[in-house]
Amino acid sequence: MKNIEMVCNEAVEWIKEKVNNAGAKGIVLGMSGGIDSAVVAALVKRAFPDNSFCVTMPCYSNPIDEQHAKLAADAIGMEMKTVVLNEAFDTMKKLVGAKDTDPKLAIANIKSRLRMITLYYYAGSNNYLVAGTGNRSELTIGYFTKYGDGGSDMLPIASFVKKEVRALAEYLGVPDIIITKPPTAGLWEDQSDEIEMGMTYEQLDNYILTGEGIEDVKCKVDMMNKRSEHKRVPIPTFVPSEKQ
């Protein structure tokens, strides 16, 4: 980015506009302990210093994630609530009859959707909007949970690939340990974004920004983009021919 200060100022004004246009009062977001949520929180805090807070929602999570979430919130000066979702997760698995043989991601995504429910409770209680934390790299290949972390009212960093998010984080004062740690969705122990995606963020970012890359990466990104299109578009609506 040529002028990161200008970009951040524009993002802050954009967030204010979205909230004001909705007749809302402020913003709530989930704080995972990762770089994306820390950057969004920093922008939100600038837009609504008195009407914003974040929520960390551990669900059989690595304790370091909650520690990093608090570290980020303290660095930004944002209020943080903690809602432990272990019991809700166990109850939900019992209610749907989840089994150990079920697909791993189907079970793990319950966590992400419970977090969405939690955020929208707080949004509804305060007349706030929910800020999403998805970046361009992950949105391009559908690396998010539909109606989970993909559920939000706005996406402040959706135009930025991962390396640009890192630049924003440095400018906004996000702690170095959060900027440099390996990215993870935190849905299970030792999960790694790059291992799960089958490519590095550097490879993904480069292909998105330049159209260049090794053939395997280009093919994989194109395939993932196509298969995840349903996550990025409005819900398809059937219209009979007589109403067209």
Active-site residue list: 36, 138
* Single-letter code of the amino acid located at 45: K
Q: For the beta carbon of residue 21, count every other beta carbon within 10 angstroms.
A: 9
Q: How far is 186 from 58, CA to CA, in rounded Å?
A: 9
Return the HEC string of 27-43.
EEEECCCCHHHHHHHHH
Label residues 139-166 b or e (16+ Cβ within 10 Å = b): bbbbbbbeebbbbbbbbbbbebbbebbb
Residue 241 per-residue DSSP state:
G
Q: How far is 74 from 78, CA to CA, in rounded Å?
A: 6
* Single-letter code of the amino acid located at 244: Q
Q: How far is 14 from 144, CA to CA, in rounded Å?
A: 23
Q: How far is 27 from 23, CA to CA, in rounded Å?
A: 12
Label residues 78-94 b or e (16+ Cβ within 10 Å = b): bebeebebeebbeebee
